[in-house]
Structure 1
Amino acid sequence: MNNRIRILLTTTAAVAALGVAAGARAEDTISEAIGASKPIFESSLRSESVDQFGFAEKAEALTWRNRFGFTTGEYEGWKAIVEVDSVEALTEDYNSTLNGKTTFPNVVDPEVTEINRAQLSWAATETTTLTVGRQRIILDDARFIGNVGWRQDEQTYDAIRLDTMLGPVKVTGAYVGRVNRIQGDDKDWKSNSYLVNASYSVNEALKFTAFNYSFDFETTATAPTAADIANAKLSSVSTTGLRAYGGAWVSAFKLNYVAQYAGQSPSGKNPAADFTLHETMLEGSATWDIYTFKVNYEILEGNGTQGFVTPLGTVHAFEGWADVFAAVGGNKTHPNGIKDLSYNLTVAGHTKPWAPWFMNPTLSVIYHDFQTDRLGQDIGTEWDAVLTAGITKNLSLMLKYADFERANPTMPASRTKTWIMLQYKL
Structure 2
Amino acid sequence: MRTPISLALAMALAGLTAAPHALATETPQAKVSKSAKPWALNLRYRHESVDDDAFARHAEADTLRLRASFNHRFSPRLTAQVEAEGVAELGDRFNSTANGQAAYPVVPDARALELNQAWLDWSGDSAGVRVGRQALVLDNARFVGNVAWRQNMQTFDAAQLRWKPNKAIEVQAIYLDRVHRVNGDEARDPLARERRLKAPLLRVSHAVPGGNLVGYGYWVEDRDVASASTRTLGLRWNASRALSKDWKGGLALERAQQVPWANAIGGSTAYMLVEPRLERGPLILKAGWERLGAGRGRAFQTPLATLHAFNGWADKFLVTPVNGLRDTYVSAQRGIELGGRKGKWEVAYHDFRADRGGSGYGRELDASFGVTLRPGFDVLAKLADYDSEGFARDTRKLWLQVEWSL
1:40 deviates by 2.0
Aligned mates of 1:192, 1:292 — CA distance in 2: 39
The corresponding residue for 1:392 is: 374
The corresponding residue for 2:219 is: 214
Aligned length: 369
Aligned mates of 2:66, 2:20 — CA distance in 1: 26
Amino acid paired to 1:340: D
The corresponding residue for 2:305 is: 313
The corresponding residue for 2:202 is: 196
The corresponding residue for 2:242 is: 249
- The CA deviation string for residues 266-318 of structure 1, in whole angstroms up to 9 with x for no partner, is 11232x23x11000000011011332110011011013731100011111111
User: 1:150 aligned to 2:163?
Assistant: no
5+ long unaligned stretches in structure 2: 1-16, 22-33
1:183 deviates by 1.2
Aligned mates of 2:19, 2:106 — CA distance in 1: 47
Aligned mates of 2:227, 2:273 — CA distance in 1: 23
Structure 1 moving runs of 4+ over 6 Å: 30-37
1:208 deviates by 0.4
Please say if residues 237 and 268 of structure 1, whose CA atoms lie closer than 8 Å, have aligned partners that are also in contact.
yes
User: 1:422 aligned to 2:405?
Assistant: no
Aligned mates of 2:271, 2:112 — CA distance in 1: 34
User: 1:86 aligned to 2:86?
Assistant: yes
For residues 304 and 416 of structure 1, do their structure 2 counterparts lie closer, same or farther at Cα, with a shift above 3 Å needed?
A: farther
Aligned mates of 2:263, 2:383 — CA distance in 1: 38
User: 1:265 aligned to 2:267?
Assistant: no
Q: How does 1:55-94 map to 2 (within 5 A)?
A: 55-94=55-94
5+ long unaligned stretches in structure 1: 1-29, 220-231, 327-331
Aligned mates of 1:51, 1:392 — CA distance in 2: 32
Q: Secondary structure at the match of 2:91?
A: strand
- Superposition RMSD on alpha carbons, in Å? 1.9
What percentage of residue pairs aligned between the two structures are identical? Answer: 30
- Structure having the larger proportion of residues in helix: 1
Amino acid paired to 1:255: G
Q: Secondary structure at the match of 1:138?
A: coil
1:74 deviates by 4.3
For residues 132 and 337 of structure 1, do their structure 2 counterparts lie closer, same or farther at Cα, with a shift above 3 Å needed?
A: same
1:338 to 317, 322, 325: 325
The corresponding residue for 2:26 is: none
1:184 deviates by 1.6
Please say if residues 217 and 235 of structure 1, whose CA atoms lie closer than 8 Å, have aligned partners that are also in contact.
yes
Q: How does 1:220-299 map to 2 (within 5 A)?
A: 232-251=225-244, 252-270=246-264, 272-273=265-266, 275-299=267-291
Aligned mates of 2:223, 2:68 — CA distance in 1: 30
Aligned mates of 2:311, 2:282 — CA distance in 1: 25
The corresponding residue for 2:137 is: 138
Q: Secondary structure at the match of 1:93?
A: coil
Q: Secondary structure at the match of 1:335?
A: coil
Q: Give TM-score scaled by structure 2 length.
A: 0.87
- The CA deviation string for residues 84-118 of structure 1, in whole angstroms up to 9 with x for no partner, is 01000012211112222110001011111110000
Which stretch shows the higher mean deviation, 179-188 or 57-66?
A: 179-188
Q: Secondary structure at the match of 1:234?
A: helix
1:76 deviates by 4.6
Q: How does 1:396-415 map to 2 (within 5 A)?
A: 396-408=378-390, 411-415=391-395
Q: Secondary structure at the match of 2:226?
A: helix
- The CA deviation string for residues 201-231 of structure 1, in whole angstroms up to 9 with x for no partner, is 1222x42000011111133xxxxxxxxxxxx
Which stretch shows the higher mean deviation, 97-106 or 131-140?
A: 97-106
Q: Secondary structure at the match of 2:289?
A: strand
Q: How does 1:49-60 map to 2 (within 5 A)?
A: 49-60=49-60
1:127 deviates by 2.1
Amino acid paired to 2:157: D
